[in-house]
Chain A
Amino acid sequence: MCDFFRISAGDQAKLDSLSERLRRLVVGSINYNALIQPGRTLVFRLYMGEKWQYPRLTDLTTLSGLLTRDEGLEPFEELTVTSTVSPLSAYPPQYFDGHDQIVDTGVRYLLLTPDDATDKDVEQKHPNDSAKSKLYDILELSAPSQFDVFRDTKRSIREYLSKKPIEPWIPSTVEKENASPHRHHPVVEIKPGEAPAGSPKAVIIAMHWFQAGGAERWALETVRLVKEAGLYPVVITDRDGHQPWINRPEFDDALLLPLTAPLQERPGDAPLLRALFEHFDIKGVLIHHSQWMYDRAWWVKKYFPQTEIIDSLHIVEYFFRGGYPHESVMRDKWIDLHHVISPQLQHWMVDVHHVNPKKVVVAPLVGLTADHEKATFKTRDTSKPLTVAFVGRMVRQKRPEAFILTAHALQQAYPGKFKFIMQGNGDMDIFADTLIERYGLGEVLEMRPMTTPVAKTYQDADVLLISSINEGITLTTIEALSAGIPVISADVGSQSTLVPKQGLLRRMTSKMVHDAKSALVHLANNEDDRKQLWALEENRLEKFSQLEPADHLFARTLEGWNK
């Protein structure tokens, strides 16, 4: 592991006495500060916050003590640390936040959170209880199907907006900032030094957060691939969270920089990247849903044009005119390669937004969580009920209510002929429980927590039903097919790449429930068709897998970077 600071044996012992998650969060903050404040000695005061807070590690409150000292908290530990960084350009420690000077007293007040804190703790403390939100929740709970008519209209409008031309992003260069009449003072460009020959070769992996998610699973895999290629992984995250994944073994021997915004930065400059580029021979940057890195891609290309930038895109969101793919198209000028995981995304990038087709590569994430090569159809005892599974986080994107409504419709029409399993947790747990109770599905619908091995659920299920309102290509589809069970899915994102027409369901909830009901009844009564559906899907997966898988593409690319 590469650290950029000197610490006394006593303080090192204090650091080592922390849990691994806390230790990595603190070391991340220390390394960040050591990099942008070369040579300085800083005092780090560690405070334990509440479960409903998120750690504050690098933002301006760590300089002011606003959320710690000023709140009357007492530090549980104090460390004195000296940066061992030898800078190759100037790092003035004075920064401004708009027109206000950021006062730096040489102390960093870090707010940490208990290891068992979850997002749910935060949401429960800060519920969105505006009148609009309350009305939304009431309508969603009382008339989920009817309410979705309204929501689907919104989705269609947003889909339309996501297809409108995207203006290129204008970076915050020195020239642009100095032309603004609102600047506190004219900015001076600071050019980065170049890492000396023989500096360690590294790759920046910019992630959303250290937390479970499809994009994060792939990001984790790229960390492994970077190490395997003999390069040093520098992992940067920019999203608030408890960062439970930070202590995963995949991140051992990597430089971890969990950022919390806003940082000490000056327009036209990227002090953290500057410091990294002065220390490492950075061969490339991999972006996995990191807004911070997207916003600084121009800086990398301005000063280090030879450094390649690749982003991985998973899904076209309804919000923000496409979400990260939208951000990517805006910054296409500075990105060398867009890795997309589905043909739908490729179509959106190339055909809708006219990104150079040579820069867009579809590389599926097959093999990331399941091995489908040896997959065989899993037969079932037709005398027993057909078991339909839902696997995923209990969040609005996965639309658990549509699955429950399907279960309700089937149970009403064919009592005893179907069983249901819902595996997953999320902020809609209570919502799902309420609906299950309302429809009296307790006997036929089994809830399984995220901690249950997902393979067990596939083993117990006969069909996977994907009720999401949006997806790329779900990893669960690949997992289910690999486990020998067919998939029926809402026709969203790129699901149609793997699921044939007879397995696709219209998107709006009422229509989806209608289509799912008839498809499932048909599959329950026609085992051959269930097998045929799986075979068709498996065949499509096989074809899809003929494309170079993402891990091969990246392994090959990383090998090239290390030459």
Chain B
Amino acid sequence: MAEDKRKIAAVVVTYNRLDKLKTVLRCMEEQTRLPEQLIIVNNAATDGTDQYLAEYKANFKFADKIQLDIVTLPTNEGGAGGFSAGMRRSYELGADFAWIFDDDGYPEPDALEKLVDGYDAASAKLGTNIPFACSLVKFIDGNISEMNNPMTTWDWGRLMAQGLNIALVSRCSFVSVLIPRWVMESYGLPYKEYFIWFDDAEYTIRITDGCPGIQVMDSVVLHDMGSNKGVNYSMIDEKNIWKFEYGARNEGSYHLHHEGMYQYLRFCAMVMNHMRRGGVAKPLQKRIYKKLIEAWNFNPKIDYPQVPVKD
């Protein structure tokens, strides 16, 4: 069998979750198929992550096998900004794939190996255009992670019918996603301006323009969230509204500027209904409406990794 010369860069974005990050890095080191590069994006964490990473780098046990690169952002740019920066770095380092996840995603030891095998097996059946492969995301108790279920295509079982434990999907969240270099080059990076929420959905919709992505069921990642719940706009409260504000602006912007006024209005109506049904406080509803209006003038441009960042 020919030697696999492809370079995979694992990209971990972290912010103030040092304990979880340590688990992530341990999981990374236990992979049966080690990534050739490990890029850790420190999103200006304030919990001592920077010191830990400096030590980690100094004592890195896999220095002969894995190229370790730590990207420290000057400010917290959210998950979107972190993934954008990490994927850009992977491209600059010459990676053939970026394997991306957050600091609370724990890949099982064979997660990457299965993901790559699945990608290759699917490519042999579907061709060279598969834009991403994602893992099956479970909650730490072993159940499915409610908020990380990819959206399947109408013919999701096509590869299953051919004996592969792989589903065709049109979008997924950024918890263990393998993204080829050509996708970054052709479709750019996630919108860093989104900061948080809907960056993963928008990006995976964008890159499935020509061919669906795949979910490799044998590749498993545990998502260590606080509680295993899906999210919708009926759940808004004082504590979490900041995330929903980003979500409303980002998704509103996407529908309006990429799909048109009808889809935007449909989205607004859906948000309104959810908030009403959930009994969300009026002042909070008002804040969300303001964000939906803000979406009119919020339409970021795509960054491409082959185009250097302007200072």
Contact = CB atoms under 8 A, between A and B. Distances in A.
Contacts of B230: none
Interface in B261-311: 302, 304, 306-307
Interface stretch (A92-100, A134-142, A294-302): A92-100
Contacts of B306: 186, 188
Contact of B127 (A96, A106, A188): A106
A96 B306 CA distance: 17
B144 interface: no
B129 interface: yes
Nearest to A102: B210
A104 B188 contact: no
Interface in B24-40: none
B interface bracket (residues with beta carbon within 8 Å of A): 10 to 19
Nearest to B124: A106
Nearest to A37: B128
Interface string B152-184: 000000000000000000000000000000100
A96 B182 CA distance: 11
Given A93-B128, A101-B210, A104-B127, A186 B304 contact: yes
B304 A103 contact: no
Main secondary structure of the interface of B (DSSP, over half): loop
Contact of A101 (B186, B188, B304, B307): B186
Contact of B182 (A92, A102, A105, A184): A92
Contacts of B127: 103-106
Interface string A92-123: 11101000111111100000000000000000
B129 A103 contact: yes
A324 B187 CA distance: 38
B293 to A, nearest CB: 29
B185 A185 contact: yes
Nearest to B129: A103
Nearest to A266: B186
Nearest to B210: A101
Nearest to B181: A92
Nearest to B184: A185
Given A103-B211, A185-B187, A94 B304 contact: no
Contacts of B187: 185
Interface string B176-205: 000000100111100000000000000000
A186 B185 CA distance: 8
Interface centre among A94, A103, A104, A184 (most CB of B within 10 A): A94
Contacts of A105: 126-127
B92 interface: no
Contacts of B128: 93-94, 104, 106
Nearest to B123: A106
A106 B130 CA distance: 12
Contacts of B302: 185
Interface in B110-142: 124, 126-129
B29 to A, nearest CB: 31
B237 interface: no
Interface centre among B129, B188, B209, B211 (most CB of A within 10 A): B129
A101 B209 contact: yes
B14 to A, nearest CB: 29
Contacts of B124: 106
Nearest to A99: B209
A185 B186 contact: yes
B129 to A, nearest CB: 5
B307 A103 contact: no
A104 B304 contact: no
Contact of A185 (B126, B129, B211, B304): B304
A30 to B, nearest CB: 18
Interface string A225-260: 000000000000000000000000000000000000
Interface in B198-246: 209-211
A188 B306 CA distance: 7
Interface centre among B128, B182, B188, B211 (most CB of A within 10 A): B128
A100 B126 CA distance: 17
Contact of B188 (A93, A100, A102, A185): A185
A102 B209 CA distance: 10
A186 B306 CA distance: 7
B174 to A, nearest CB: 21
B186 A104 contact: no
A93 B129 CA distance: 8
A370 B195 CA distance: 78
Contacts of A184: 186
A237 to B, nearest CB: 27
A185 B129 CA distance: 16
Contact of B185 (A100, A106, A188): A188
Contacts of B211: 101, 103
B180 to A, nearest CB: 8
Interface string A365-390: 00000000000000000000000000
Nearest to B180: A94
A101 B129 contact: yes
Interface centre among A93, A96, A186 (most CB of B within 10 A): A186
B176 to A, nearest CB: 23
Contacts of B304: 185-186
Nearest to A92: B182
Interface in A70-98: 92-94, 96
A250 to B, nearest CB: 37
A120 B140 CA distance: 72
B310 to A, nearest CB: 14
A422 B210 CA distance: 56
B166 to A, nearest CB: 16
A119 B211 CA distance: 38
B88 to A, nearest CB: 13
Contacts of A188: 185, 306
Contacts of B210: 100-103
Interface string A31-75: 000000000000000000000000000000000000000000000
A384 B126 CA distance: 75
Nearest to A40: B128
Nearest to B208: A101
Nearest to B188: A185
A185 B128 CA distance: 19
Contacts of B186: 94, 96, 101, 184-185
Interface in A171-190: 184-186, 188
A42 to B, nearest CB: 10
B111 to A, nearest CB: 25
A101 B186 CA distance: 9
B129 A94 contact: yes
Nearest to B127: A105
Nearest to A184: B186
24 contacts: A93-B128, A94-B129, A94-B182, A94-B186, A101-B209, A101-B210, A102-B210, A103-B127, A103-B210, A103-B211, A104-B127, A104-B129, A105-B126, A105-B127, A106-B124, A106-B127, A184-B186, A185-B185, A185-B187, A185-B188, A185-B302, A186-B306, A186-B307, A188-B185
Closest 3 CB pairs of A and B: A101-B210, A105-B127, A93-B128
Interface of A: 92-94, 96, 100-106, 184-186, 188
Given A101-B129, A104-B129, A188-B306, 11 more contacts: A92-B182, A93-B128, A94-B129, A94-B182, A94-B186, A96-B186, A101-B210, A105-B127, A106-B128, A186-B304, A186-B306
